[in-house]
Structure 1
Amino acid sequence: MQPTVFVVTKLRDMTAFFDFFQEFFHEVRAVKSDVRMVVLTPTKPNFALRTFQEVNASRLTVVEGSVLNDKDLERVQAHAASAWVLLADQLAEDPVVEDTTTLLAVLALKHFTSGSVSLFVQVLERSARRRIEPFLAPESDVCMSIRETEAELLVLAARCTGGSTLVNNFVLSMAPMRPPPPTRPPAPWALPEVCPWTAPAPGMHRAGVEGRHAQGGD
């Protein structure tokens, strides 16, 4: 069974996603070569994302769907994931609505997977982290707040002159990842009828994909 990490994101900030992808597969992390990232997004991938997937076809698959839809979760075999990563939309106009959507996504995944898959959750506000953590398993799940992390870095800079600069230099000192050579996968943004990264769970079947694109259920 191919190790698979699912990422839930709205992909409104493509640069942020590209940075996340490169950091995830950075050589310093020693990520196994057979690990695949599957992105579940509610919108149809644009040209930039489809091109990016073609360049990284050996590691990236993009699927149009919703984590709040059981049919989509069954279609991608959510229970067989090595982990789920929920990324907050930092361009959201209403942080409360965005974090509430993330909370619903956590509950949906916990229910569908019976808590058997690790969750790595990113939210905007500190209050959202406190609301979500009671539903997470301390030994396997992680939740972090972007606003809280920003505040902690400001405190670090105030207490230790140059502290935040040191952290920033550590991040910038990492060499960019060298992507694999381009390939030409068929329909890069569509989910194949037979998921290549996993086998069906006992008693379950894979739903076929109708149409050219993998569409989310109602």
Structure 2
Amino acid sequence: MGVPADYDEDPERFRLGTRVTERYLTGTSSLYERVAARLGGDVLDIGCGEGALSAVPAEAPVRIVGLDASATMLRAHPRPAVRATAVRLPFKDGTFDAAVAVNMLYHLDDPVPAIREARRVLAPGGLFIAPAISRYDSPELAHVWRREPTCFDAEEAPDIVARVFGRGRVEVERWDAPLITLPDQEAVRDFLTARQVAEASVLAGRVHAPVAVTKRGALVLARR
């Protein structure tokens, strides 16, 4: 069962998560910067949201096409942008030099059909990038909140992608470091709220701030 998406019903929750990450990220580049550094040519951003990837300066010439199922998200995304689902991409085979799915495959009941579609629209040698969050993310907050397992956690994501692209075509870059520092209980509350945690204000009161939060995950890359 995929994690329910509420981007049309409650877009402010998503925007709050973006603000928390941007405000309290410490000591490293953002996930979107890591992804953008690998891109060039025509890129399909699957589950593009409001355009976080498009906002990152690319190191090589790049043309990003945003795609999302949420009309609310797409209204804020720079053009070109297309409303569609990840399991039925409205593009011909071999259209893109890269396809990116940043922290969105866990919303699907089964990520494999979407990964197959991403591979289909890639040109030969094209790059697929799918970051995945570890189920052991944010251990410093485990006494008030634990991330529920999903269908595309970092622990299984490389094997899932390899089922589509082939094991010899998959690379993995993992991260495991204190990357966000929440300075006070208000910041902790916002961090939890952005993750759909019930009673976030109450639970934030049980966290001693400031707290450095360890982010764990993997960048899964595959070539067609």
Under a length normalisation based on structure 1, what TM-score does the superposition of the two structures give? 0.43
Name the one with the larger helix percent.
Answer: 1
* Structure index of larger Rg: 1
